[in-house]
Each structure stands twice: as structure tokens, then as C-alpha cells.
Structure 1
Amino acid sequence: MSQKNETPALLLAFLLTVGLLGAGFLWLMPKTGIKLGTQLTNQEALSIDDRISQGERNLVQAEIKADNPAFAQAKQAGIQSMALRRYGEAIPLFESALRSARNAPETLIYLNNARLGINPSYTIAVAVPIGSDLNGSLEILRGVAQAQTELNGAVGSQAVPLKVLITNDDNNPETARQIAKTLVQMPDVLGVVGHYASDVTLAAGSVYNAGGLVSISPISSTVKLSGFGKYIFRTVPSDYVAARALADYAVKHLQLRKAAVFFNSQSAYSQSLKAEFVTAIALSGGQISDEFDLSAPNFSAAQAVDQALKQEAKLLMLAANTGTLDQALQVVQINQRRLSLLGGDDVYAPKTLEVGGQQALGMVLAVPWHIDGNVKASFPGQSRKLWGGDVNWRTATAYDATKALAAAIARNPTRAGIQQALASPDFAATGASEAVRFLPSGDRNVGIQLVKVSPGKRFGSGIDFVPVAW
């Protein structure tokens, strides 16, 4: 019997088997991503093997919609087929799932892998913190999935296609270190897109350096990563670049030289951005009136803003990380637009617009990329067509990291060869808005995008992040 004739029967059999799995999961519209929720899996109890999948495990449990059983059933059936290496059966099941809900990057990656089957391919991994930052993980997976889809579907391409392993490190340094050890021991894995938080990337980076496996982080911006090792790269600008852009904007454009800084002492990223901004302001002739630790048990937004006003600060710099965004937004509300506001890329989130509201108007943030930053780029239109909504900078930098790995693999598909290709002065890969090139330090050779919270309609809240030309 032909595969075409078998498909309906196989699909029905699998659907009856899995029943109503996934009925407890929630889904949000494409523009805002998937709603954060409690994972069914006990993340801390997961083995390392349970945290790695090319299609045989459902790592993104919340990708299944509570109100879309057809998606849940088809995806779960496809995963069962992948576990049995029945790739021909998995393909129509994943395709069916994506027809029900196309904004599902894990499912698209699994579909791409199923289409490869046992055919020749090059394998890369992507490391995301599914259990601790679901939305951030999905943003990265969208970038990897989009790049994989383009690369594998290129008409007339002579390149061997990419297979993608998804790994979940929960943004835990020790878990990331163990995953890195496992990936180093998997000879087929030629490179890694990841990790997420700077602390986690530093922990895993030592393992990758020792094991000779390239890692390209699309997220980690701490200056400690610069020159960390010859196998460590990133597609996001370092905090050095972001801090100096914000300091220059404050001093040269706003004509403000006295700032109070809010940061998280428990975050390598937050500490890095704070330290670089303090230095940049001093070099620009300004000064810091005070520093406030958002993670302190006795932190009070009201007291901090009051103290900043008494010390005659003219602006507030929010070097918050994702974990202290709520405290930073308390500062925004208490400030009541009395002092100008600056912030790093972790403040660039829909929540800032929703919670900050009118009090966030005028705030300027430094981000790696904005969807309206380059009107000539084709990536924004392609991503909207694929996902049914706008994507953010994490998707773009993950896309860039995947394209860079693919370009390096095309030059020399060995671990050492990939490192040499990425480090070569003549290396360039097509990115979301501009070419991806690296400095000898492993940093990306690229500038930063400033955006301002301004009136707008894209998020439906009356305010938006708008690129700043200055």
C-alpha cells in the first residue's frame, strides 16, 4: 500500500491512541507568544537524556493548546512516530499540527527533522531555558526553526541540510554544564546555538572550550564572554556596546549627566550592564548619584526613587534582568515620568508596555535588533508569513546564529573547521538585517539599536517600541 493511502488510517489510529492529551495547556496569539504556565514535567527531576530531543520528546509541553485538541493529538502522535523512527508517518502528523497552529517552533523543527529522516545531514543543537523562561525559549526556537526551514528548503542548494537537537537547560548553570558535556560527547553535533542567561553561558562555555565544540549565544551579552575562549561566539552585541550607546544618548541627546542605576546583584548580565554604564557615564563627563539593588530583600521602589530625586539625579537607568523586571516596572510607575528612563534589552518586553503604560512613555532602551530597524531587510516579512505575527530580537539573533553555523559548516564540516571559519577575517553569513561577522574576541561586529516607548498600535496597548534615529 502506498504511503499516501496509509496516511489517513495511520493518522486516525494515532489520534485514537493519544486521545485528549494536552487539554490542560494554554496558547496565546502569535504576536505575544505562548502564555507562561506550569510545566507538567518536574523539571528538576529530568535526566539529561530527557532534556534533549530531535523529535522523540515533547519538551515544550505548553506548545499544546487547551482549546485545540487537533494540534495536541497530531503533535503527540508525530512524536510517538519519531520515537519509533517512523519518519514517513511523522511528517503528515506534524504537518497537520502546524495547519492547526503554525506558531509552534518546536513542532516545525521536528517536522524538518522528520523530513530528513535517515538522509545525510549536519546536526546542531539549540539550548533554551524551557522550564524557567518559556516565552524566551520560544523566541529563540522560532529563529532556529526559521533558519533551518530556509536552509533545508533552498531550491537547488548543494549544501547538506541541518538537523536540530533541542535541549532544555532551565537556565541552570550546572544543568547547562551537564548538557554541554553530553553534546561534546556526541560526535555528530557540530555546533550549539546557546545558551541563554550570561551566567549559564559562562558555565557551559568552559565545557565547550575544553571539548572543542563551537557555541554561538544569541542572548548572552556580559563582557566576561569577550575573549572567553576560541570556541565561544555570540550574535548579540556585548554590554559594552549597549552601555555606551545609552550613555552617549543621555549625555549628547538628552543633555543629562547625573543618573541613578537599578540592577540585580545576582545576575551576571545585570552586573555587567550596570558596570559598563557607570564607566561610560563617567567617561562622558557625567556621574552616578546612587546604585540600587533590585534583588535586595528590602528593596523599595518608592524609597529608591525618592532618594534619587533628593540627590538631584536626572535620569534612571534600569539594568534589570528578566527576573527583576517586575521591580524595575515598579520604579517606572513610582517615577511618574519625573526623571528620564533608560534600560537594557531585558526591559524590552510586552510586559513593559502593559504594566508601565503611560508612565513608560519616553523610556529609551538598547536592543540588538528591532523589526522596523531596517526597512530593506526581507527577514521581517518572511517571519511574519511563517509565524503569523511579529518576532523580537531574540528570534533575529537566534536566526543569525543558526545561519552563521550553517555558513561555517559549508566551509568545513568539522568542529575545528567550523571554529576556524567563524574566526576567519573574511567570514560573513547572511543575517536578519545585516551580515554576521565576528571580532577576534568572539563578539559580533555590529552596533546597537535604540528604541523609545512611544504612541503606537502594534501591541494593541496604545504604546509601542519605536526605533530611535539620532
Structure 2
Amino acid sequence: MSQKNETRALLVSLLVTAGLLGGGFWWFSQRSGLRFDDNASTLSPQGSLQDRISQGERILLPSESSNPEFNSLKQAGVSAIAAARYADAVPLLESAMQKHSNAPETLIYLNNARIGQRKAYTIAVAVPIKTDVAGSAEILRGVAQAQNDLNRGGGINGAGLKVAIANDDNDPDLAQQIARAFVQTSDILGVVGHYASDVSLAAGSVYNTNQLVSISPISTTVKLSGFGQYVFRTVPSDYVAARALADYAATTLQQPTVAVFFNSQSAYSQSLKSEFVTAVSLTGGQVSNEFDLSSADFSAARAVDQALKSGAKALMLAANTGTLDKALQVVQVNRKRSLLLGGDDVYAPKTLEVGGEQAEGMVVAVPWHIERDPRSPFARRSRQLWGADVNWRSAIAYDATQALIAALRQNPTRQGIQQALSASTFSAAGASQTVRFLPSGDRNAGIQLVNVVPGNRSGAGFDFTPVARN
């Protein structure tokens, strides 16, 4: 039978068994270990926590592809997983991946389906799908690649890795509820997440109390340093990024005067701003103005005019994802009159698309860039897997997953994972650097500065490229 006819036959069989899906999902949830308290809060508009957590029985990430054949195959595969028909799900999801390879949620579900009911270790990943679909997909690519590498290599002593995906909307209260669901689910041995710093802080209190390890690939606030024995991260803290940017400004401008733009409602933005202000003073420079992007009366034109009149030769954009649009207004109004600096949330396709020529020369601090080590095994495999380059969020999420895998190999229990990660001898192979943790739970790693230059790789006419080292 041809692959096309086989796929059609599988689709027909799924339609015949549609009436069994409800019972199938109940059976799956009992067997998978993903069981939640019946009194769990009802969350509008998506319903209960069960609607936000999936090992493959529901689609969380919308629009992985506009290809209707891909979407039909993916939905059929997900329906098969919900009915515990893993043998049917595998060829459907494999066919979907052939239609569109850059689909991390689909690959995670495919790897889960290949394991089926066989012995496996389970981790979870929390992403903010509602508020940042692109960022969520970037993180899932890193997790999916690590899972795929492990499972194709035989797993951990023959046991594969399953991944549960959760959508926390980047909301602290919701993240705490999801964290409680994770700690109540005995199968989940570790968590990759969360995204925003204030969300990781909120969820981290739950993980610490209930002794479940979380490793954030994104949250950079200094408040996470030493936050608890069960909270780690693979991204350098704002302390590291702020000093790299301040040193660059000092080298470029000599005792620079800088105006800072930040969001007072974001733990990440507040942290980066505070660390940068301190770092600038240590270089002999000064911060002339601080502008709150979240203020109701914020005006980019008025703020830039005030900054220039105060003698600012550089503008530091410590914006978070939610205030990136306002930060890009600053870029446009500045018209290249002052040096532009930015934190890692400014590293986004929108910056290149909207900022365009006015963003040229902007310097941004990120943990990793593919052009720094383009021939690394991780970079090579990621291109083969996704058909495109990945960015730092994928690489650092890969590192977080690799750290959990290395700890699982040593002792596949919740407490054993914590002990492994905390040991001074711990190490895991990362995307480009070995993953090691300080006693604070921070990663022992540096930062990469990139700048905006004309280029064709992004499709926007400009690219982020590593700043040449002296």
C-alpha cells in the first residue's frame, strides 16, 4: 500500500472510532499519570488545567503550518493519541512532519507516540503560547531536538523521554496552578520553564516547596539567583548581560551618558535596568534619564527628545516582550542619533522588520548565536531537523533539557535530579558550551553581543550578527 493510501485508510479508521475518543482520553489520562484534582480552578477562556497540558492528546500550539494536509494529519494523529491508538498516531504524525518539518510540537507528540505505553521518563515544558506563539515555538524546538536526539539514540538505559507541554500564558497565577499540577503528577520528574522572570519566580516558589526541579531557559532576573534549591536556569543573569552592554558602551563612547527605557511592571525589565544602571556607573558613565515604557502617557518622541537634550549618547532598551512595540517606536524616533543597546527580549524578528534601517548598528546581548559556532554538532543537527537556523531561545532550551537528561541518567528521581544538578562535578553537553551550575542555580556561562547589520538571512533585509571580538 502506498503511503498516501495508507494515510487515507488510517483517517477512515479514526472516523469510525470517533465515538470512542472520550473514553479513550480517560484511559490515556489514567495510564499517562497526567491526572489533576477535580477541584482545579476553571480557567477562562480555555477551561480547566487539563485543556492547557498535553502529551499529545490535544493541540496547544496553533498554526505550526498553513499546509492543510499537514494540519489534517496532525489533528488525526492527536486524535489517535487521545484514543491511545499509538500505532495509528505514529505514521500520521510522521507524514505530517514530512509535509512540514519545522513543527516542534508535532515532533514532541510523535516521539511520545513512538514510546506509547513502554517505560519512559517524563519531563514537562511550560511556554506562553497565548502571549508569545513564536517564542513558545522557539523553546519547543530546543526541547524537541534534545528529546529526539536521546530517543533516537536508545534513550536512558532503553527508556525513552516523554515531554508534556503546558501553556501558562506567561501569567504568574496560572503558572503557579500549572506548577501545582506538575508536582501532583508523580510521573513528571523535572520542568523546563518558565518564560518571563516574574512567572518563573511565582512558579519557582511552588517547585521549591514541593521539591520538583525547574530549569528556566529564558528568565534572567537577578532575583532568581539563589532563589531555592530546586530552581535553576541555563540563561545567564541580567548581571552578566548588563555588564557586557555597559562595557561596550564605555569602549565605544568613552564615559557614556545613557538614557534607559524599561517596563516597571516586568521583573525582567526592572532587573536588567537596575543592573545596567549600576554597571554604567562602574565604567565611569552616567544614566541621564529613566523612561517607563508601561506608563500610560509614555511618548517615544518626547522621551527621545528629552534624552538627547540631557546629553544621552546611547539609549538602552530594557524592554520586555510586552513593551517591544514601544521600544521600536524609540528606535524609529531616534533616527540613528544615539547608539542603541538592547536586552535579549529585543532580539526578535519584529526588531528587524519594524526597526529596519533605523535599527542598524543596534547592539543586543544574547546568550548564544548560531554564527559564533556555525559548524557545531548542535547547529548542524538543528538545520537538518528543522530546515532552518534556530535562535538563542532554542539553543538554551536545548541546554536545559540536556541538563535534565544528564541528571536523569544519574538518578531518575526528583530528589536525585536535584542532587545531580547541584553537585560541583555536574556537567552536560550543551549547544555550544558545557552546562554547569553555580551554587546559586545560575549557569556558569558568558554572554554574546550581536548587532543589526544589512543581510538576507532573516528575510527582513537586516540580520543579527555577532559583534567582532577585540
Q: TM-score, normalised by structure 2?
A: 0.91
Show the counterpart of 1:280: 279
State the match for 1:60 in structure 2: 61
1:378 maps to amino acid: P
| Structure 1 letter corresponding to 2:238 | D
Using a 3 Å threshold, how does the CA distance of structure 1 residues 322 and 5 change in structure 2: closer, same or farther? closer
In structure 2, the partner of 1:314 is 313
8 Å Cα contact 1:15-1:74 kept in structure 2: no
Gaps of 5+ in 2: 19-42
Kept in 1, the 8 Å contact 2:255–2:284? The answer is no
Amino acid of the structure 2 residue aligned with 1:158: N
TM-aligned CA deviation for residue 99 of structure 1: 1.1
Q: Once the 2 structures are TM-superposed, how far is the Cα of residue 157 of structure 1 from its aligned partner? A: 6.5
- Match for 1:207: what amino acid? V
Contact persistence 1:216–1:235 (CA under 8 A) = yes
Are the aligned partners of 2:172 and 2:199 in contact in 1 as well (CA < 8 Å)? yes
Q: Is the 8 A contact 2:236 2:446 kept in 1?
A: yes
**Alignment-mate amino acid for residue 439 of structure 2:** P
CA 1:6 to 1:324, structure 2 compared with 1: closer, same or farther past 3 Å?
closer
Of all paired residues, the percent bearing the same amino acid is 67
Match of 1:46 in 2: 47
| Partner Cα distance (1:156, 1:110) in 2 | 16
For 2:457, the equivalent position in structure 1 comes to 458
Contact 1:159 1:410 in 2 (8 A): no
Residue in 1 aligned with 2:259?
260
Question: Does the Cα contact within 8 Å between 2:154 and 2:160 map onto a contact in 1?
Answer: no
Report the counterpart of residue 145 of structure 2 in structure 1.
Answer: 146
> Do the aligned partners of residues 363 and 43 (structure 1) sit closer, same or farther apart at CA in structure 2, a change above 3 Å counting?
farther
Aligned residues: 443
Q: CA deviation at 1:97?
A: 1.0
Distance 1:6 1:305, change over 3 A: closer
CA distance in 1: counterparts of 2:75 and 2:164, whole angstroms: 18
Residue of structure 1 equivalent to 2:421 = 422
Contact 1:53–1:165 (CA<8 Å) still a contact in 2?
Answer: yes
Q: State the secondary structure of the residue aligned to 2:406.
A: helix
Task: Report how far residue 63 of structure 1 moved.
Answer: 2.4
> Is this contact kept in 2: 1:450–1:467, CA < 8 A?
yes
Residue 329 in 1 paired to residue 328 in 2? yes
Q: Which residue of 2 aligns with 1:410?
A: 409
Q: Which amino acid in 2 is paired with 1:55?
A: G
Moved more, 147-156 or 182-191: 147-156
Match runs of 1:6-155 below 5 Å? 9-14=9-14, 44-65=45-66, 68-154=67-153
Given that 2:255 and 2:286 are in contact with CA atoms closer than 8 Å, whether structure 1 keeps it comes out as: no
- Write the distance in 2 (CA, Å) between the matches of 1:359 and 1:15: 54
Q: What does residue 32 of structure 1 align with?
A: none
Deviations 1:219-256 (A, max 9, x none): 00000000000000001110000000001111124424
Matched position secondary structure for 2:368: coil
Question: Aligned partners of 1:237 and 1:453: how far apart in 2?
Answer: 22
Task: State the partner residue of 2:173.
Answer: 174
Q: Secondary structure at the match of 1:62?
A: coil
- Worse-superposed segment, 304-313 or 68-77: 68-77
CA contact (8 A) 1:126 1:192 kept: yes
SS at match of 2:244: helix
Whole-Å Cα distance in 1 between the matches of residues 89 and 374 of structure 2?
38
Q: Counterpart of 2:162?
A: 163
- What is the CA distance between 1:368 and its match in structure 2? 0.8
Cα offset, 1:461, TM superposition: 2.7
- With over 3 angstroms needed to count, the CA separation of the structure-2 counterparts of 1:409 and 1:466, relative to structure 1, is same
Cα deviation 1:120-141 (Å, max 9, x = unaligned): 1100000001111111110011
Q: 2-side partners of 1:462 and 1:362: how far apart?
A: 14
Report the 3-state secondary structure (helix = DSSP H, G, I; strand = E; otherwise coil) of the residue aligned with 2:169: coil
Cα distance change of structure 1 residues 375 and 99 upon mapping to structure 2, 3 Å threshold: closer
Aligned partner of 1:235 in structure 2 is: 234
| Alpha-carbon separation, structure 1, partners of 2:203 and 2:221 | 14
Cα distance in 2 for partners of 1:305, 1:321 equals 19
Q: 1:100 to 1:282 in 2, by over 3 A?
A: same
Distance 2:416 2:154 in 1: 26
Relative distance call for 1:70 and 1:287 in structure 2 (3 A) is same
Cα deviation, residue 155, structure 1 = 5.5
Aligned equivalent of 2:36: none
Aligned runs of 1:145-224 on 2, under 5 Å? Answer: 145-154=144-153, 158=157, 160-224=159-223
Which residue number corresponds to residue 39 of structure 2? none
What's 1:34 paired with?
Answer: none
Aligned-pair CA distance for 1:46: 2.1
Amino acid at match of 2:248: Y
Query: Structure 1 CA distance, aligned partners of 2:12 and 2:301?
Result: 59
Equivalent-residue separation in structure 2 for 1:295 and 1:123 (angstroms): 39
TM-score scaled to structure 1, two decimals?
0.91
Deviations 1:73-128 (A, max 9, x none): 11111111111111111101111111111111111000000000111110000000
Q: Aligned-pair distance for 1:16?
A: 9.1
Which position in structure 2 is the counterpart of 1:36? none
- Taking a change above 3 Å as real, the CA distance of residues 215 and 156 of structure 1, as seen in their structure-2 partners, is closer
**Shift in Å, 1:257:** 1.6
Conserved 8 A contact 1:194-1:217: yes
Helix, strand or coil at the partner of 2:450: strand
Deviation at 1:455, TM superposition (A): 2.0
Contact map agreement 2:234 2:399 (CA 8 A) in 1: yes
Unaligned runs of 5+ in 1: 19-41
Q: CA deviation at 1:17?
A: 8.9
Q: 1:376 deviation in Å?
A: 4.4
Pair 1:156–1:354, CA change in 2 (3 A): closer
The 2-side partners of 1:317 and 1:267 are apart by 16
Amino acid at match of 1:184: V
Q: Secondary structure, in 3 states, of the residue corresponding to 1:44?
A: coil
Q: Could you tell me whether the CA contact under 8 Å between 1:144 and 1:398 is conserved in 2? A: yes
Q: Is the 8 A contact 1:15 1:73 kept in 2?
A: no
SS of the residue corresponding to residue 122 of structure 1 reads strand
Q: Does 1:299 align with 2:321?
A: no
Contact 2:453–2:464 (Cα < 8 Å) also in 1: yes
Q: Which deviates more from structure 2 when the two are superposed, residues 55-64 or residues 90-99?
A: 55-64
CA distance in structure 1 between the partners assigned to 2:129 and 2:386 by the alignment: 19
